[in-house]
Every structure is written in C-alpha cells, then in structure tokens.
Amino acid sequence: MDILEELEQEICDNNINLVEYDKINDKSAITRDNEGYVTIAVNKNKVKNDRELLVALSHEYSHYRTSGYYRPYMLKSNKWKMEYNANVDSIKRLVPLYKRKGLLPSW
C-alpha cells in the first residue's frame, strides 16, 4: 500500500466522506455540516497527478485533524492561522523528521 492509499484509508477510517466534485474552484476543499459529518471534495480536473492529489488530500485532512474549519465571513487572520496549522500538520505527516531537519536553518 503506497502513501496515497494509506492516507485515503485513514480518511475513510475516520468516517470522512471522500468525493469527486468538479464545481469547486480549488483542487480540494473540506466541509463539516451542522450534524458533524465531514466531507473532503476533490476536483480531479485540477489535479495533475497522484503527487498533487496526495498533497491536496493531506492538506484537507489536516484541516480535520487541527479542527481548522472556517467560513467565508471570518477574519482573514483567523483563516491564515487555520491554513498555517493545516500546512504544518500536513508537512509533518508527509515529510519524515530526518528530512525536515535539513530544511530548518541552524542558528
């Protein structure tokens, strides 16, 4: 099982619906309804390959893991914070620690 299949399985194991939806402007999006059901939508027309799909799914799943759901009317600073937290979580999941250490500056 490759990393994309593992991620898709983890998403399904957490009862998150994974759907293809070509009406979104981005590659992917996540939504949670009033009853708590979570759906990750992927626009396959905007995803070029499995690597882009992996990054998009990991990012959206990280919104779930960090409880970073936002609404269009929220302050930009709150959106940016949620995006930042999702990006950090996604990078930690996708890039092994020994590779991340080389990315950090040595002060």
For residue range 9-47, list pLDDT tens digits in order: 999 999 999 999 988 889 999 999 889 899 999 999 999
User: Using a CB cutoff of 8 Å and minimum separation of 24, what contacts does 38-43 make?
Assistant: 38/14, 38/64, 40/11, 40/16, 40/64, 42/18
* 87 part of a folded domain: yes
* 19 part of a folded domain: yes
Q: What pTM, to 2 d.p., does this model score? A: 0.85
Domain holding 22, by residue range, is: 3-98
Block residue for tokens 């092994």: 96
Enter the tokens of residue 95.
Answer: 């890039």
For the chain, what is the domain count? 1
The sheet with strand 17-20 has its strands ordered as: 17-20, 38-42, 28-32
Side chain identity, residue 103: L
* CATH number of the domain where residue 93 is located: 3.30.2010
**Pairing of the two strands 17-20 and 38-42:** parallel
* 107 part of a folded domain: no
